[in-house]
């Protein structure tokens, strides 16, 4: 008999879910599953396990829960959610209270109410069923991260003070009371907006976090509040929608939706109206070389989930341009993770077929950092990184406008000169450039962006209050 513990890292949204069980009795649980649930079914099959329990740590704001789809898929598992904190759920579930325990052979999971990120938040401590009652690990959800903690500001201004107080108590009275060697298994890794500056390791220990986590260095509650609220990253616009979907119970899809393929003429007729959006998921350089006029370039890497969540209206049908036709299921799964299901079709044969059909091509100029440095006075240099990144330094003369604000505030950008857009790597800059291109700007994307600028050894200015106004 042996403990089975698998970590499933969903890149892009930087989400961590877990399969835990014992291959003796052959039973296991999944904690915080994502929407594309086949990964858990396949892991359980490989390990010879039956999934009997599905645990949610809280009502998620950053991705669509896969609990209902997983329960429908395996039939043997019940969904367990927190009965604490006044949360309500409009789907079939088993409520659990603080202290409830569940045995999986030699593994016992115990629910621990750890509010602060949300009022109902549960963590799950893991211990050896018969040998030692003290926990050896804890699945912290969005309460404690590596080098960070869950943000308490997502439930509205009227709940911030109470959630800050609860988070402080959770961190200092519960987690810091655990032994130093207890391993933490958080709900997110680096890159998630659910916490500030989450560390790049996927696990840690209470002892390490006790020493180095900045959120655990403020025992005074007022100092803690000032620190927590001052470090919170911008809240993605789709978070409130995700919470509503997850509380109501996401639709059970049963299988991955397959969008219809449209040949160029049909795609042009369907996608050429103002009430739809064309999303080109190719790389920035491919998009720059030739694209459908007005298309939004969100590259098909795992990051697509977050930026599609920020920028796509779930009520507006999306038509996809893919690098390859077979990329469709991957892109659709990335969109499903943030609740976007309104994919109306994709361009069969991609831009090669479009070009062969003799249809119009638009281009987006690419400007490397050497040309940018050589002609700074001839350009409006626009930094679309986050406020936190902006604070670390910038290209001299740049103005700051966070990418999600470009769609609403594009008219504030100086159009008297060509606009050169940069981010950290060029991925987000290409998204912003495609928005501005569709608005009629003379725009250039900067591949490599900040990384290329720094890598070339070019001068960096410390932060100054230079923003679009």
Out of 206, 225, 248, pick the residue that ends a domain.
248
Residue ranges making up the domain that contains 268: 261-356
- Give CA–CA dist 383/399, Å, rounded: 6
> How large is the average pLDDT for residues 438-445?
97
Q: Token match 């699945």: residue?
A: 139
What is the structure's pLDDT at 466?
47
> Is 267 in the same domain as 189?
no
Q: Is residue 253 part of a domain?
A: no
> Is 98 in the same domain as 216?
yes
- C-alpha gyration radius of the chain: 24
Q: Is residue 461 part of a domain?
A: no
> Is 310 in the same domain as 369?
no
User: Alpha-carbon torsion 128, 147, 10, 192, what sign?
Assistant: positive
> Is 183 in the same domain as 321?
no
What is the structure's pLDDT at 435?
98
> Is 40 in the same domain as 188?
yes
Q: How crowded is residue 265: how many other Cβ atoms within 10 Å of its Cβ?
A: 12
> How large is the average pLDDT for residues 63-81?
96
> Is 68 in the same domain as 186?
yes
- Give CA–CA dist 262/323, Å, rounded: 15
> Is 293 in the same domain as 406?
no
> Is 17 in the same domain as 123?
yes
For residues 399 and 415, the answer to whether their CB atoms sit within 8 Å is no
Average pLDDT over the chain reads 95
Mark out the alpha helices in 150-205 (DSSP H runs). Answer: 157-169
Q: Is residue 83 part of a domain?
A: yes
Q: Token match 């603080």: residue?
A: 98
Query: In whole angstroms, how far apart are CA 284 and each of 238, 389, 446?
Result: 24, 21, 10
Query: Is it the case that residue 467 has pLDDT exceeding 60?
Result: no
- Give CA–CA dist 68/79, Å, rounded: 7
User: Quick one: pLDDT band at residue 253, thresholds 50, 70, 90?
Assistant: confident
User: Quick one: pLDDT band at residue 2, thresholds 50, 70, 90?
Assistant: confident
> Is 351 in the same domain as 386?
no
Q: What is the CATH number of the domain that holds 116?
A: 3.60.15.10
- Give CA–CA dist 401/435, Å, rounded: 13
The token pair that represents 213 in the structure block? 């986590």
User: Quick one: pLDDT band at residue 1, thresholds 50, 70, 90?
Assistant: low
* Nearest partner of 405 among 438, 376, 379, 382, judged by Cα: 382
The two beta strands, 144-145 and 343-347, are: unpaired
- Give CA–CA dist 453/8, Å, rounded: 34
> Is 90 in the same domain as 194?
yes
Mark out the alpha helices in 317-410 (DSSP H runs). Answer: 328-336, 350-356, 369-374, 387-390, 406-409
DSSP E strands, 178-220: 183-186, 204-205
For residues 426 and 402, the answer to whether their CB atoms sit within 8 Å is no
- Give CA–CA dist 42/408, Å, rounded: 43
Q: How crowded is residue 370: how many other Cβ atoms within 10 Å of its Cβ?
A: 11
* Nearest partner of 251 among 356, 340, 358, 325, judged by Cα: 340
Number of domains in the chain: 3
Out of 300, 326, 356, pick the residue that ends a domain.
356
> How large is the average pLDDT for residues 256-267?
93
What is the structure's pLDDT at 68?
97
pTM of the prediction?
Answer: 0.93
Q: Is residue 118 part of a domain?
A: yes
What is the structure's pLDDT at 351?
98
Query: Is it the case that residue 394 has pLDDT exceeding 80?
Result: yes
Q: Kindly state the greatest CA–CA separation across the chain.
A: 73
Which helix (H) or strand (E) is 396 found in, with range? none
Chain mean position to CA 269: 33
What is the structure's pLDDT at 280?
98
For residues 116 and 81, the answer to whether their CB atoms sit within 8 Å is no
Query: In whole angstroms, how far apart are CA 213 and each of 148, 149, 204, 389, 443?
Result: 6, 9, 10, 20, 41
| 420: β partners | 381, 444
Q: pLDDT tens digits for 99-117?
A: 999 999 999 999 999 999 9
Query: Is it the case that residue 468 has pLDDT exceeding 70?
Result: no
Q: Is residue 68 part of a domain?
A: yes
Backbone torsions φ then ψ of 367, nearest 5 degrees: -125, 120
> Is 101 in the same domain as 205?
yes
Q: What is the CATH number of the domain that holds 445?
A: 3.40.250.10
Out of 315, 336, 356, pick the residue that ends a domain.
356
Helix (H, G, I), strand (E, B) or coil at 263: coil
Angle in degrees, 0-180, between the axes of helices 38-47 and 67-74, rounded to the nearest 10: 50
Q: pLDDT tens digits for 198-230?
A: 999 999 999 999 999 999 999 999 999 999 999
Q: Number of helices (H) and strands (E), helices first, in the chain? A: 16, 24
Chain mean position to CA 406: 20
> Is 399 in the same domain as 381?
yes
Query: In whole angstroms, how far apart are CA 307 and each of 92, 199, 200, 300, 403?
Result: 31, 21, 21, 11, 9
Per mean pLDDT, which range of 121-125, 127-131, 137-141, 362-366 is the poorest? 127-131
Q: Is residue 132 part of a domain?
A: yes
- Give CA–CA dist 84/439, Å, rounded: 48
CA atoms within 13 A on the CB side of 428: 26
Q: Is residue 273 part of a domain?
A: yes
| Strand arrangement, sheet containing 277-280 | 261-262, 343-347, 318-321, 277-280, 296-297
Angle in degrees, 0-180, between the axes of helices 304-311 and 328-336, rounded to the nearest 10: 60
User: Quick one: pLDDT band at residue 252, thresholds 50, 70, 90?
Assistant: very high
- Give CA–CA dist 96/94, Å, rounded: 6
Query: Is it the case that residue 340 has pLDDT exceeding 80?
Result: yes
Q: Is residue 374 part of a domain?
A: yes
What is the structure's pLDDT at 130?
75
Class of residue 444 by CB neighbours under 10 A (exposed 0-12, middle 13-18, buried 19+)? buried
Helix (H, G, I), strand (E, B) or coil at 152: coil
Q: Give the rounded percent of residues in the chain with a pLDDT score beyond 90.
A: 93
Query: Is it the case that residue 165 has pLDDT exceeding 50?
Result: yes
Query: Is it the case that residue 61 has pLDDT exceeding 80?
Result: yes
What is the structure's pLDDT at 469?
43
Beta carbons within 8 Å of 272's beta carbon, 6+ residues apart? none
């Amino acid at each position: 008999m042996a403990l089975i513990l698998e970590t499933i890292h969903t890149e892009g949204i930087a989400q961590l879910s877990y399969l835990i069980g014992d291959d003796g009795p052959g039973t296991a649980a999944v904690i915080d599953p994502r929407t594309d649930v086949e990964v858990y079914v396949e892991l359980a099959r490989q390990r010879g396990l039956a999934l009997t329990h599905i645990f949610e740590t809280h009502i998620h704001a950053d991705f669509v829960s896969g609990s209902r789809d997983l329960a429908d898929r395996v039939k043997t598992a019940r969904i367990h959610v927190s009965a604490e904190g006044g949360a309500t759920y409009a789907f079939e579930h088993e409520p659990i209270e603080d202290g409830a325990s569940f045995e999986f052979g030699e593994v016992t999971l115990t629910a621990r109410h750890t509010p602060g990120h949300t009022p109902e938040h549960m963590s799950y401590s893991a211990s050896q069923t018969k040998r030692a009652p003290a926990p050896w690990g804890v699945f912290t959800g969005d309460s404690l991260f590596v080098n960070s903690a869950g943000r308490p500001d997502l439930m509205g201004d009227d709940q911030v003070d109470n959630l800050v107080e609860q988070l402080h108590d959770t961190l200092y009275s519960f987690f810091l009371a655990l032994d130093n060697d207890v391993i933490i298994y958080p709900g997110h890794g680096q890159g998630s907006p659910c916490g500030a500056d989450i560390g790049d390791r996927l696990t840690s220990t209470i002892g390490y976090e006790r020493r180095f986590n900045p959120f655990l260095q403020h025992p005074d509650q007022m100092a803690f509040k000032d620190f927590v609220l001052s470090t919170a990253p911008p809240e993605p616009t789709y978070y409130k929608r995700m919470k509503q979907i997850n509380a109501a119970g996401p639709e059970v899809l049963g299988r991955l939706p397959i969008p219809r393929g449209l040949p160029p003429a049909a795609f042009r007729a369907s996608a050429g109206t103002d009430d739809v959006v064309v999303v080109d998921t190719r790389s920035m350089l491919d998009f720059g070389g030739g694209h459908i006029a007005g298309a939004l370039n969100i590259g098909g890497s795992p990051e697509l989930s977050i930026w599609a969540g920020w920028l796509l209206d779930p009520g507006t049908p999306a038509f996809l341009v893919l690098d390859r036709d077979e990329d469709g299921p991957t892109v659709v799964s990335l969109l499903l993770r943030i609740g976007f299901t309104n994919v109306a079709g994709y361009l069969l044969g991609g831009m090669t077929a479009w070009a062969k059909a003799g249809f119009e091509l638009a281009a987006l100029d690419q400007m490397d950092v050497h040309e940018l440095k050589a002609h700074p006075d001839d350009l409006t240099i626009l930094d679309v990184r986050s406020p936190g990144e902006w604070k670390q330094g910038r290209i001299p003369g740049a103005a700051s406008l966070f990418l999600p604000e470009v769609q609403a505030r594009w008219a504030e950008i100086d159009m008297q000169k060509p606009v050169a857009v940069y981010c950290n790597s060029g991925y987000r800059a290409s998204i912003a450039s495609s928005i501005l291109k569709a608005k009629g700007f003379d725009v250039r994307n900067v591949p490599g962006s900040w990384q290329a600028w720094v890598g070339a050894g070019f001068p960096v200015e410390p932060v100054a209050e230079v923003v679009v106004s």
